[in-house]
Amino acid sequence: MYTTKKTLLQRMQNCDEISWEEFYSIYWPLVLDIGQKLGIPHDNCGDLMQEIMFDLFKGEALLRYDPAKGRFRTYFGVLVRHKAADMLKDSARFPVPAKDDASSDPVPELAASFLAPDKQNENNPFQRLFDEEYRKCLLAAAMNELRNNVEPKTYAIFEMVVLQERPVKEVARCLGISRSAIDVYCSRCRKKLQKIVSEIRIENPDFTIGIPL
């Protein structure tokens, strides 16, 4: 089932290799999307993720996270922002588009506007970007959890009818099953997805999945 970040980080602190792999698989797409939107080349986004993982591996970043003081989303956003800012400012890492003014900051204007503010609040451009990408990350985790806990046929029907919004009549004709059977399959998925979402909302009460449950 969906693993809370507190539990996952505790396992990582105990040097559980599988937990480190799980963390990487969950957050690599998030870091890749954030990095590319800030102007970091794809290959260097891999370096960005490795630096984040190394910071966590050293233990200092893990020890700085205190669930009693805030959400994991905010904590991880700060970590990603700082690592991305360091990478963008290091012009030796990869070519950074230069401005006409030679004395100007080498960080691209868009990235600079996202990374410069130090306060973490809803008006921070980077925080807004990160929150949206993090929601997508949670959504992907929820759907992957659902996919792994139902039969392939059940998930395929749910995907076609609910996620792709294809007409039930069309899906029934295509698969050669009754509309009532499709309703049963979709209901089964919705019930499991409701449970997954409720577990995610323990740490992310504002999480929305965007489909009717």
Q: Are residues 62 and 165 in the same domain?
A: no
- Residue 71: half-sphere exposure toward Cβ, Cα within 13 Å: 15
Task: Flag whether the pTM goes above 0.85.
Answer: no
The domain total for the chain is 2
pLDDT tens, residue by residue, 91-111? 545 554 444 444 444 445 556
Q: Are residues 23 and 126 in the same domain?
A: yes
pLDDT tens, residue by residue, 132-153? 899 999 999 899 999 999 999 9
Q: Are residues 23 and 69 in the same domain?
A: yes
- The whole-number pLDDT of residue 168 equals 96
What would the two tokens of residue 35 be?
């990095």
Q: Which of 144, 164, 183 is the last residue of a domain?
A: 144
Vertex 70 angle, CA 28 and 123, to 5°: 80
How far apart, in whole angstroms, are the C-alpha atoms of residue 18 and residue 8? 10
pLDDT above 70: residue 114: no
Domain containing 184 equals 149-213
